[in-house]
Amino acid sequence: MNREQVSRTLQQHGAVMVLGILVVVGSLGFDSFATPANAASVVVSSSFLAIIAIGMTFVIISGGIDLSVGSLFVLGGVLAAYGSQYGFLVALLLPLVVCGVVGLLQGLVIARTGMAPFIVTLAGLLGVRGLMLAISDEGATTYLVKDTAFATLGQGEILGLSYPVYVTMALALTAMVLLQRTGFGQNVYAIGGNEQAAALMGVPVARTKVYVYVMSGLLAGLAGALNAARLSSGVTILGIGLELDAIAAVVIGGTLLTGGAGGVTGSVAGVLLLGVIQSLINQVGSLTSAFQQVVSGVFLALVVVAQRLLSKAQRLT
């Protein structure tokens, strides 16, 4: 294996390798770490972020960014809890429709006007959170999930894992196939690699961009709805900074912020890596939860530097 192949392998699968190392270290250092209960806790708590990260992976590979997903997550939860009084279908479809429409609008603005995704989705972040506050009376009203079947969607378990974990697994597998085995996935890579060249090759650039932002909005809304089902309420204080966690997980997983490279497997590994870091900090006991942000920030910085060095190594070979 030459240097270029080693660099590419480390870039694509580095998060999986580091995740494996941390799991081994945690298992050897803490008796309660390598237990089924702790493993299930990490997986379940990471599933909602993983759903959002799947959509973010497509966005970042295409060369964009979506800062609105944290607000869409909390809006999805509030709408799901509100809609649950009208039954299971309304509770599930209402957040998907509204969040999907937000993603559609953002995608259309980005694709048709050429505005920077950072600005458009930052406006979406603020606007969506304002909409959520308006629906919830400035956060004073917390809607409770009233449909038992919908609550079961978030709380039911199979083999010790809640239903959202299996939804996440199904979405991840579907996204892998979509990204690696379809023309749409190849278009996403092409646009992120070189948008002008992709357009000259006949790639439907505008349409593909719209699709990835619709996907991101839908998945953020779905994650919020599942979280509301799990908590039996549409909590209005969630989602702050969640977009940064999603971006961090995707980048840690090997997806380049410049676009054109990355994958869903790495993003899921990045999410689990953040979850394992939090679990290890909890195992230590003497560290506060705020320390997890410090560790995650340092880890993200190291990953970005490593990606830069690996990219240079690939160009030199």
DSSP class per residue in 90-117: HHHHHHHHHHHHHHHHHHHHHHHH---H
What is the residue range of 294's domain? 45-276+289-305
User: Does residue 2 lie in a domain region?
Assistant: no
Q: For residue 90, is it within any domain? A: yes
pLDDT (0 to 100) of residue 191: 94
What does the H/E/C string look like for 259-274?
CCCCCHHHHHHHHHHH
User: What predicted TM-score, i.e. pTM, was given to this entire model?
Assistant: 0.91
Residue 18 lies in a domain: no
**CA pair distance 122, 66, nearest whole angstrom:** 8
Residue 22 lies in a domain: no
Which string of DSSP letters, residue by residue, matches 36-71? Answer: HHHHHHHHHHHHHHHHHHHHHHHHHHTT---TTHHH
Of the CA atoms within 13 Å of residue 250, those in its CB half-sphere come to 32
Would 152 be classed as within a structural domain? yes
Instruction: Identify whether the C-beta of residue 310 lies closer than 8 Å to the C-beta of residue 11.
Output: yes
CB 46, CB 274: distance < 8 Å: yes
Residues in the chain, overall count: 317
Number of domains the chain contains: 1
For residue 131, give the 3-state DSSP assignment: helix
> Is there a domain that residue 26 lies in?
no
- pLDDT at residue number 139: 76
Give pLDDT, residue 114. Answer: 87
What is the reported pLDDT for 309?
A: 66
What is residue 128's predicted lDDT score, i.e. its pLDDT?
Answer: 92
Looking at residue 228, its pLDDT comes to 93
Looking at residue 159, its pLDDT comes to: 83
Q: Is residue 8 part of a domain?
A: no
pLDDT at 168: 95
- 10-residue block means of pLDDT along the chain (317 residues)? 60 72 82 82 91 96 94 94 92 95 96 92 93 85 88 88 93 94 93 91 93 96 94 84 89 85 89 86 69 70 68 55
Instruction: List all residues 6 or more positions away from 210 whose beta carbon is below 8 Å from its beta carbon.
Output: 104, 107, 108, 111
Residue 162 is assigned to a structural domain of this protein? yes
